[in-house]
Structure 1
Amino acid sequence: MSGDHPRWHTLRVRLTLVAGLVITGAVVLGIVLLYLLQVQSVDRTLDGQLRAYAVEITESAANGAWPRLLAPSTLDADAQAQVLAPDGHVLAATRTLAGLPAMYSTGSGTPRRTAAADGVVPDDVRVVAVRQVVGGQPVTVLAGTPTGLLTQLRDAFTSNLLLGFPVILLVAAVTVWLIVGRVLRPVERIRHAVTEITSADLSRRVPEPGTPDEIGSLARTMNDMLGRLENSAGRQRRFVADASHELRSPLAALRTTLEVGLAHRERAPWPEIAERATRQSQRLEDLIQQLLLLARADEHQLTAQASEVDIGRLLHDIRASTPADGVTIDVQSTGNAVVLGHAGHLERLFRNVLDNAVRHAETSVHIRTTTGRGRVVVEIADDGPGIPVEDRDRVFDRFVRLDGSRDRASGTSGLGLAIAREIVTAHRGGIVITDTGGHGTTVFAWLPHRGP
C-alpha cells in the first residue's frame, strides 16, 4: 500500500499486531488456567489420599496401643507418617522415620518443617496433619508423600511455555496476516480503482465484491456517490456551456449594434442604437442575476435570513406590478397563508411562474391560495395552449425552452421555472404542472404552513 505513512502504519499491520497479541495472550491464558486447574486437581487428590492414610493409621490403634511400625499406605507406596502426642513426642512412625524426632511441628495449625527433617525428608513433600482422639488421648497424624514428579511437571511446563510463546505468537500473527489480507483485498482493489478515477471521467465505478457485508456496502455506497458526482458534473458542464451560450447572445448583439453604429458614425441612428444597447444590457443583467441566484441555490443559501411571509399579500403585490398586456389576472386568497422563508426569493418564485403564465395566456390568469394539512397551496392557472405531458417535468430544467418560446426576442432564458423549483425545494415545498380542464396550464406550488 502507498501513502504518506510508513508501511508499518497500515491497517493490516496494526490488525496483525493487535490480533496476534490478543490471540496469543488468550491461548497462553487458557493453557495456564488449564494447567493450574490440573495441578489443583492433583493436589486435592494427594491430600485426599494422605488424609485417608491418616484415618487408616488411627483405626489401626483403636485401643490406644500403637504398633512399633506403622503399616504403609495402600494408596501411595511412597507415603510416610508419624503420630505425635500433644507435647510433640513421636508415638509411632513408618519404617523410614522410625526412631527419629518429629519431622514437622503443628503448633500453628499448619505443618511446619523442623530442623530434624533436613537430610531425611525431601524438600518437595506434601504433608497433611489430621487430629484424632485415639484411646482417649488426642494425637496428630502427620502423613506426607514426595511430589518430585509434580515439581518436574511445573518446571517442564514453565520452560515449554517460555519456548512456545514466540511460536504461538508467530503462528497467530501469520494466520491473522493472511486472513486480514484476504479480507482487505477488495478494499485494496477499491482503493486502486478510486485512484484512477479523475474528474475528467467519472463514468468508472469501483469493483463490488458482491458480498452482503460492510465492504460490499462500502463499494455500493461509493458507486452511488460516483453516480451522483457524475450526474452533478454533467449538469455543471451543461450549465456552464448553456450559460456561456446565453451570455454570448446578448453580448454579440450588443457588440454588433455598436459596431454598425461606429461603421457609419455620421448617418447612424444613435438614439435607436442606444435603445437597443440598453435592452441587451438589461437582458444581460437579468441573466447574470438569474445565474447568481442558481449559484446560491446550489450552495443551499436560498433560505438564509428567513422570516414570516404572508403569501396572500405577496401575490397581490406581485399582481399589481406585473404587466398584463391585455390579460386579466385574478387573485383569490383564503385563510392565514403565512410561511417561513426568504421574502425576496419567494417573490421571485411566484413572479417567474406568473410571468410565464401571462406570456402564454390568451385572455386570463387565475391565482388561488388555500391552506390545509399543514401546507399553503398556490395555484396559478392560465388559458393558454398548455404544456404537453412529456414536457411538464422537463420545463423545470435549466435553459429549457419549449418550441413555442424558443424565440430569443421574447427575452426568456429558460431559467424562470428552474429558479422557481430551486426556491420552492429550498423552502421544503414542491411544484408541479397539470392541465386546466383540458385547456391551459395550472402550476401547483406548496410550502409548509407557518401558523395556527
Structure 2
Amino acid sequence: MARWRQLLRSVRGQAVSVNLVISAAVLALTFTLVVMHVRHDSADQAMDRAARTARVVGVYLYTYPAPDPIPVPSDGAPLIQVIGSGDGRVIAASPALKGKPRISTLAPAANDSRVDGTLCEPYFTPCGQLVALRIRTAYYRQVIIYAAAPLPFFTGWVLPVLLAVLFLTLLTCGAVSTWRTVGRALRPVEAIRSETAEITETGLDRRITVPDTGDEVARLADTMNSTLDRLEHAATNQRQFVSDASHELRSPLTGLRTRLELALSAPEDEPWGETARAALRDVERLQEVVDDLLELARLDAGALASRVKTIDLGELTAEEIGRRARRVPITAELAGDVIVQADPLKMARLLTNLLANAERHADEEVVVKVAAEGKEAVLEVIDDGEGIEPADRERVFDRFTRLDASRSRDAGGSGLGLSISREIAMAYGGRLYLADSHRGARFVLRLPLAGAADGADGDGGGGAGTASIL
C-alpha cells in the first residue's frame, strides 16, 4: 500500500492519474452521446419503417379486403396486424404473426388517427417501434393497423458492452503510454538527480552531463552546472577566507602569548608597563580583524543597515576628513549637492577605509574629489605614493590581500578594508575600482545620484567645486 501511495505521489503517477481522469470524463461523455445518438437514430428509422408500412396497408385496405397473410414490403416492417375496431378480433396478419393474438392494446385517441409506441418481448429483443393507425375501409368499416419494426440488435446490450470494452482499452493504452512517455521525459532528470547526489562538498569540481535535447531538461542541467559553479566558487572562497582569517588572527595572538610568557618567566625583571602597552596593541589588532570579519559577514548576508537616507556625499566626505588625525595633508575638492541614497554609517566606513589606505601609502599628499558626472556621483581618493601595478588592481580588493609594498611600509590594516568598501559600494548599486593615475593610486567610487532611476537630469546640480588643503 505504501508503495502504491508513493507511486501515486510521483510525477509519473500524478500525470497518469490526471490523464485517466480527463480521458475517462471525455470518453464517458463521448460514449454516452454515441449510445444516445445511435439508439435515437435507430428508433427514428424503425418508426419510419413501421409508419410507412402501416400507410401502405391502409391504402390497400381502403379499396380491397385484407389478404391473409398480409405480404410484407421489401423495406417495410415485418410485423403487421389488422384489428377490427369494434370487436378487437384479428382480421389479417403478416406471416410472422399468422395465428397470433393481438400484439398490443395501443389505440389512437378518438380525435386522432395515429399513435406510436414500443413492442418488446416476445416479439422483439430489444424492443421495436410500433405504429397504430386507425382508418375506415370499404369492407371492414373501421380498423386499426399495427405495424412494428425491430431495432438493430446492437442497440441493446451489445453496443454498451462494446463501448465499455473500447473505453477500458483506450484508458489502459492512455495510462501505459503516459507512464512510458513521462518516464522517458524524466529519465534525464533522474540522471541529473543521481549525478547531483554523487557530488559532495569535496567533489564540487564535477559537473552534470547536459543532454543534447535542447529542451527544459537541458536548461535544467545548465542551471545546475551554473549553481555548482557558484557553490564551488563560494566553497573555495570560504576555505580561503577561513585560512586567511586564521592566519591574520594567529599573528597577534602568537605575539601576545609570547610577550606574556616571557613576562611571566621573569616577572621581577619585566617592564610591565611596556608589556601591557604591547599587549594592548595586539588586542587592538585582534579587535580590528574581528570587527572587519563581522562587517563582512553582515555584508555577505545582505544585512545592510535599514536606515537608508538621502545624503550629500560632499558634506559627508568633509565631515570624515575633519575627524581624521592626518599623517599627510589632505586636499579636498568637494562639489555641493551631490545627493545619493545610502546609509550614512556605511558610507562613513567606506570613506574611512579609503582615506586610511591612502594615508598609509602617500608620500606627501592625499587628494579627495567629489563631483557629479551624468547620473552618477563620483568620489576619488588619490595618493602620491608608489601606486599599484595594473595587474594588481583587482587583487587589492580580495580579502586579506596586502601587496608586498604595503607590507614593507607598515603592518597596519587587516587586509579587509578595501573588500568591505567594495561590498558597501555594490550594495547601493555603485562601483569601486582603481583607475589610471600619473602618480600613486587613484580609487574611484561611483554611486547613482538620488532620483537618477526616475529620469533625473543627473548633473546633480553640483555647485562650484571648492579646493582646500585641510
TM-score (norm 1): 0.82
Aligned residue for 1:72, secondary structure, equals: coil
CA distance in 2, matches of 1:292, 1:330: 31
Residues 175-254 of structure 1 aligned to structure 2 (within 5 Å):
175-254=177-256
The 8 Å contact of residues 66 and 92 in structure 1, kept in 2 or not, is answered as no
Q: Kindly tell me: are residues 190 and 82 of structure 1, through their superposed partners in 2, closer, same or farther at Cα, counting changes over 3 Å?
A: farther
TM-superposed deviation, 1:303: 3.4
Segment drifting more, 367-376 vs 422-431: 367-376
* 2:352 pairs with 1:376: no
Equivalent residue, structure 1, for 2:257: 255
The 8 Å contact of residues 319 and 329 in structure 1, kept in 2 or not, is answered as no
1:111 partner letter: D
The 8 Å contact of residues 46 and 128 in structure 2, kept in 1 or not, is answered as no
TM-superposed deviation, 1:113: 6.3
- Cα deviation, 1:202-259, whole Å, max 9, x if unaligned, reads 2223333332333222222222112111111111111111000001111112222333
2:116 partner letter: P
The 8 Å contact of residues 303 and 341 in structure 1, kept in 2 or not, is answered as no
The 8 Å contact of residues 376 and 449 in structure 1, kept in 2 or not, is answered as yes
Selected match of 1:124 from 122, 127, 133: 127
1:419 partner letter: I
Residues 3-152 of structure 1 aligned to structure 2 (within 5 Å):
6=6, 9-23=9-23, 26-27=26-27, 29-54=29-54, 56-57=56-57, 65=63, 67-69=65-67, 72-76=72-76, 78=78, 80=80, 95=94, 103-107=105-109, 110-112=115-117, 124-128=127-131, 143-147=147-151, 149-150=152-153, 152=154
Q: Kindly tell me: are residues 120 and 434 of structure 1, through their superposed partners in 2, closer, same or farther at Cα, counting changes over 3 Å?
A: closer
- Cα deviation, 1:147-192, whole Å, max 9, x if unaligned, reads 2x43x55312333455565555444433333333222222222222
Equivalent residue, structure 1, for 2:463: none
The 8 Å contact of residues 47 and 149 in structure 2, kept in 1 or not, is answered as no
* 2:430 pairs with 1:425: no
CA distance in 1, matches of 2:418, 2:204: 29
2:149 partner letter: T
TM-superposed deviation, 1:263: 3.6
The 8 Å contact of residues 80 and 145 in structure 1, kept in 2 or not, is answered as no
Equivalent residue, structure 1, for 2:411: 410
Aligned residue for 1:406, secondary structure, equals: helix
How many matched pairs?
440
Q: What stretches of structure 1 of length at least 5 have no aligned partner?
A: none
Q: What stretches of structure 2 of length at least 5 have no aligned partner?
A: 457-470
TM-superposed deviation, 1:124: 1.9
CA distance in 2, matches of 1:119, 1:27: 34
Segment drifting more, 160-169 vs 297-306: 160-169
1:211 partner letter: T
Segment drifting more, 64-73 vs 245-254: 64-73
1:210 partner letter: D
The 8 Å contact of residues 57 and 71 in structure 1, kept in 2 or not, is answered as no
1:178 partner letter: R
CA distance in 2, matches of 1:392, 1:44: 94
* 2:176 pairs with 1:174: yes
- Cα deviation, 1:8-32, whole Å, max 9, x if unaligned, reads 5433334334434544554555455
The 8 Å contact of residues 77 and 148 in structure 2, kept in 1 or not, is answered as no
1:221 partner letter: T
Segment drifting more, 11-20 vs 337-346: 11-20
CA distance in 1, matches of 2:157, 2:293: 85
TM-superposed deviation, 1:141: 6.7
TM-superposed deviation, 1:398: 0.8
Segment drifting more, 322-331 vs 94-103: 94-103
Selected match of 2:294 from 269, 289, 292: 292
Q: Kindly tell me: are residues 120 and 216 of structure 1, through their superposed partners in 2, closer, same or farther at Cα, counting changes over 3 Å?
A: closer
Segment drifting more, 90-99 vs 68-77: 90-99
Identical pairs, percent: 32
1:445 partner letter: L
The 8 Å contact of residues 303 and 427 in structure 1, kept in 2 or not, is answered as no
Equivalent residue, structure 1, for 2:280: 278
1:15 partner letter: A
